[in-house]
Amino acid sequence: MRRFPLRQLILYTVYILLVFCLQVSYSTEMSFLGQIPDLMFVFTVLTAYFYDFRDGAIVGLVLGLLRDCFCAPCVTGLDGTLVVTGGIGMLVLFLAAAFASSFFTGRMKRNVPFSFATVAVATIIYKVAGYLLSVLWFSLVQHTVTAMDLADFALGSLLPQLGLNLIAAIPLVFLLKFLGPYKRGSAKDKNEDKIISGEGNWVTY
């Protein structure tokens, strides 16, 4: 009979609350060139990378729910009014977990150095996808061209976000890999488990 994972439940709860509180409370202090480190996104990616899709998906859905409830982004509707989006945070973080859990995790053995490459690639995909969606929204739905051009996006949004997320990954890697949620030397920590593949603005352009 498997023991109830009390240690994992407690530590994940503490980590999630810590990451969320830091994200919403100190976003201004952590900003650079209009961007802020996306701690919730990075934490979800690292969890999925180190401990498989199940852990990452659960963490992503919980953080995504908090994201949607407390700092959901707004978009301009067809009538010109601002509309608060719902469910986007959960979807984004769930997809981030799915990506990170299968990004060379078998070949690279979920090692610490490559976790930063996973964060980098996931951030690039996330930002580029958000930029393309914003361009499509403005051009196809609102019939305007108000999204920033490609050069401004790369220099003023993508690169600062990439740098901030990589910096944020340093303490989060230490938190996840060396302090828990799994004991050092456990099957999960040794990556012997089966890989299951599969302004509160947290996104800015």
Tell me the per-residue pLDDT of 148-194, one tens digit each, with 9 for 90 and over: 677 788 888 889 999 999 999 999 999 998 887 887 666 566 554 43
pLDDT, tens digit (0-9, with 9 covering 90-100), for 5-53: 788 899 999 999 999 999 888 877 888 888 889 999 999 999 999 998 9
Picking from 171, 133, 170, 167, the residue whose alpha carbon sits closest to that of residue 153 is: 133
The CATH number linked to 38 is 1.10.1760
Q: Other C-beta atoms within 10 Å of 179: how many?
A: 10
Question: Which structural domain, as residue segments, surrounds residue 12?
Answer: 6-179
At 2 the pLDDT is 54
Residue 174 corresponds to which amino acid? F
Residues near 23 by beta carbon (within 8 Å), at least 6 away in sequence: 36, 38, 39, 40, 71, 202
pLDDT for the residue numbered 6: 81
Domain count for the chain: 1
CA neighbor of 92 nearest in space, from 100, 102, 103: 100
Look at residue 191 and tell me if it is in a domain.
no
In a domain, 16, yes or no: yes
